[in-house]
Structure 1
Amino acid sequence: MIEQLTLYTAKIRPYSQRAELALEEPRLSFTRFEVDLQNKPEWYASKVNPASKVPAIAYGGPKTAPDQPLLESQKITESLILLEFVADISAKLLPKDPVQRARVRFFIDAVSISVAPLLHSIAVLGETPKNLYKGLETLQSLFNNRYRRYLADLKARDSFKKTFDDNYILEQYSAAFSPLRAQKKASKGSF
């Protein structure tokens, strides 16, 4: 039986979504607490994650309100570590076969190193995508068509649909990039 489990998350963060997706996929029972990244609760850093980042999990101990995490519950942070933890407690997230499990971990590692940081630099920091192309070329040699099948399979899963709010994400990114688009449009017109 799974103990008390609370996920501290933020809908806008892809790292949070992958942690939530990992919990949804094996249908684990958990409490979801949305952390306002612009106005984090005062208690969050001291009681959940000293780095004040999401996602994080509080695990174990008696069930409490998410905004009152107990000291005796274990706090687990960093999304890739959370994925491993969920795989350990659910036994349904990764393949049982050690070779297949190693292949999945290789894929996770390759995407985490080659693509995820580059997507972040483009989406959040507004950098040009040229470095992303290099990362994608590296991955392309590894799993070309397999990745497309994986992504289509992922998007078709109920757990993905439940954890990915495409309208919300689109609104947030549109709001974040509207000033940049307006600035770029204005600079083109000034020549």
Structure 2
Amino acid sequence: MVWVRSEYAGELAVLSTWVAALLPWNVFYGAVAGGTVLFVRFPLFQIRYAFGVPFVRATSVSSPVSAYLLQSGTSVQVAYGLWLVGALVYLLALAVSLYYYREEERADAWATDPVDVLGGLLVAAAVLFFVASVLFPEQFLGIGFGVGGGFPGVSIPVGAVLQLALGAVLLRADRVR
């Protein structure tokens, strides 16, 4: 079954890639150190809100690189490393989508369909984000099988699932070239 018409696949590929930047691939809310925290992790940055946690700034923003470096040597380093790799894959998808948007005729002349390229990159990044979500020491979807037993709270990979679906739709597009 094809979910997108051939003539709209290119536009959907570009738009899906841009929308993925706005989808948090992971959201965590829970109790930590006498307070509560909310982590909203997007492909290229993370926002942390801390309420009542001693010695922690109420709001902070970090990149995948700074978050990975901060977690060096901890039990979550692998999860943050997967986020970093996923962010790099997503950046590649974003670059391809920008090129495709500006140079559609040239991109359509590639040996591989740019819609398939973007779909594959979105799927690859989404899988990396999803695996990172599972490896965080948080309650994944309310189930405590994260590394280290889990923090009290819930981690939901909402954007990773939606990004995976967008990529799958692009890979299923039947393009006439």
More strand by share: 2
More helix by share: 1
With a CA cutoff of 8 Å and minimum separation of 6, indicate the structure with the bigger relative contact order: 2
Larger radius of gyration between Structure 1 and Structure 2: 1
Q: Tell me, yes or no, whether TM beats 0.5.
A: no
- Superposition TM-score tier, normalisation by shorter sequence: 0.3 to 0.5
